[in-house]
């Protein structure tokens, strides 16, 4: 909910400040909802490409199966480091034209596009590992502000349900029976 404090003139010619007007967020149109989901599709597609394509690339470049878990640590480590920093940074950033979150979407999307384009050209394991770290950092740079953007756009009663149903929610693997109940009960 957005709040605005107004100042009004009283009958004695003075002002009385402090009256708070609470406005509800407007409902989103179907076009806005579809565009929001399109953004999630792009981010999830990039994460999917990262998770499915990297092990064959490592194997092609000569990595042994025993080395693959160590080489794949980029995702969890980068997520632990990047997500809180980017989330806090996007909360405190404001651009007059793009708002709070959109600059992070753009930087993350450009980074993901460049990394995905360069993957077929790597010629060494260290190059593939570095590119994986950069790709994961770009994915997280786009994903965390995007989640916050969804919460910013939805009415408060819907934002908790939307984040609970998100496929990238931390509890997504353990909540599938619960989600079916919560989705059908509302």
Q: List pLDDT tens digits, range 45-58.
A: 888 888 888 899 99
CA distance 58 to 56: 5
pLDDT for position 185: 44
* Lowest mean per-residue pLDDT among 28-37, 135-144, 175-184: 175-184
Q: Taking the mean position of all CA atoms in its chain, how far away is CA 85?
A: 13
Beta-carbon contacts of 127 under 8 Å, excluding residues fewer than 6 positions away, are none
What torsion do the CA atoms of 49, 55, 56, 60 make, to the nearest 10 degrees?
130
Instruction: Look up residue 84 and give its two tokens.
Output: 């809180």
- With CA atoms as reference, report the closest residue to 86 among 142, 4, 29, 154: 142
**Using one digit for the tens of pLDDT, what is the confidence trace for 55-96?**
999 999 999 999 999 998 877 888 888 888 888 888 888 878
């Amino acid at each position: 909910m957005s709040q605005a404090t107004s100042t009004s003139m009283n009958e004695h010619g003075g002002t009385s400040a402090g009256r708070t007007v609470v406005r509800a967020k407007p409902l989103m149109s179907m076009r806005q909802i579809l565009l929001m989901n399109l953004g999630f599709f792009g981010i999830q597609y990039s994460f999917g490409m990262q998770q499915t394509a990297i092990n064959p690339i490592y194997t092609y470049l000569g990595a042994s199966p025993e080395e693959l878990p160590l080489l794949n640590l980029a995702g969890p480590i980068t997520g632990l480091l990047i997500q809180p920093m980017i989330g806090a940074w996007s909360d405190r950033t404001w651009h007059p034209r793009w708002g709070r979150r959109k600059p992070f979407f753009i930087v993350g999307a450009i980074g993901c596009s460049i990394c995905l384009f360069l993957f077929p050209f790597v010629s060494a394991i260290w190059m593939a590992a570095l590119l994986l770290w950069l790709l994961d950092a770009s994915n997280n740079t786009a994903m965390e502000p995007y989640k916050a953007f969804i919460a910013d756009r939805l009415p408060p009663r819907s934002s908790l349900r939307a984040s609970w149903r998100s496929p990238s929610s931390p509890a997504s693997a353990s909540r599938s029976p619960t989600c079916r109940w919560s989705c059908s009960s509302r």
